[in-house]
Amino acid sequence: MDEKNPSAEVRPGVFLLELVLVPVSDIDRAKAFYADQAGFTVDVDVRPAEGVRFVQLTPPGSYCSITLSEGLPQAEMPAGSLRGLHLVVADIEAARKELIGRGVDVAPVEDLGGVFYAWFADPDGNTWTLQHMPWRK
């Protein structure tokens, strides 16, 4: 198993969410944001057919990746329409500081009943939040 981008065993009866499509208007700009600023690993950048492109990126340590795509009608969504994807972190202040250091505009940490959040958006306006649950190890 790759420690940076692990994968879970696919067992009978298990439904693993491993890929989320993120709607963007400019794949190169979004790829640069997610790789260079958010620190995601670029797993794949392919053009399997004329007018079709897939870029898959994975947050560090995540079992789930994102895909930026074009040319696939079944996956079309308005750019910037995805809301509230959660990145669970062990230390929200450190994670926030790291993203800010990479040029990401991250809102201050909010305590919502013992669960902590810090929101940010990609260049198209898709929103993300860092989430910290102190009891979770």
What token pair was written down for 32?
């640069």
> Which domains can be identified in the chain, with CATH numbers?
19-71+79-132 (3.10.180.10)
* pLDDT tens digit sequence for 89-103: 999 999 999 999 999
What integer is the mean pLDDT of 56-75? 95
What per-residue confidence (pLDDT) applies to 11? 81
* pLDDT tens digit sequence for 25-34: 999 999 999 9
Q: What is the share, in percent, of the chain residues with pLDDT greater than 90?
A: 86
| Residue at token pair 């879970």 | 8
Instruction: Report the range of poorest mean pLDDT among 1-5, 42-46, 88-92, 94-98.
Output: 1-5
What integer is the mean pLDDT of 10-16? 82
What is the overall mean pLDDT for the chain? 94
pLDDT band at residue 1 using 50, 70 and 90 as cut-offs: very low
Count how many Cα atoms sit within 13 Å of the Cα of residue 5 in the half-sphere of its side chain.
15
- Kindly tell me the sign of the dihedral angle through the C-alpha atoms of 40, 41, 44, 45: positive
What per-residue confidence (pLDDT) applies to 4? 62
What integer is the mean pLDDT of 74-101? 96
pTM: 0.91
Is the per-residue pLDDT at 43 higher than 70? Answer: yes
What per-residue string of b and e applies to 29-68 under the rule 16 or more CB within 10 Å gives b?
ebbebbeebbebbeeeeeeeeeeebbbbbbbeebebbbbb
What per-residue confidence (pLDDT) applies to 16? 84
Count how many Cα atoms sit within 13 Å of the Cα of residue 121 in the half-sphere of its side chain.
12
Cite the DSSP H helix spans in 1-137: 27-32, 92-101
What integer is the mean pLDDT of 39-46? 98
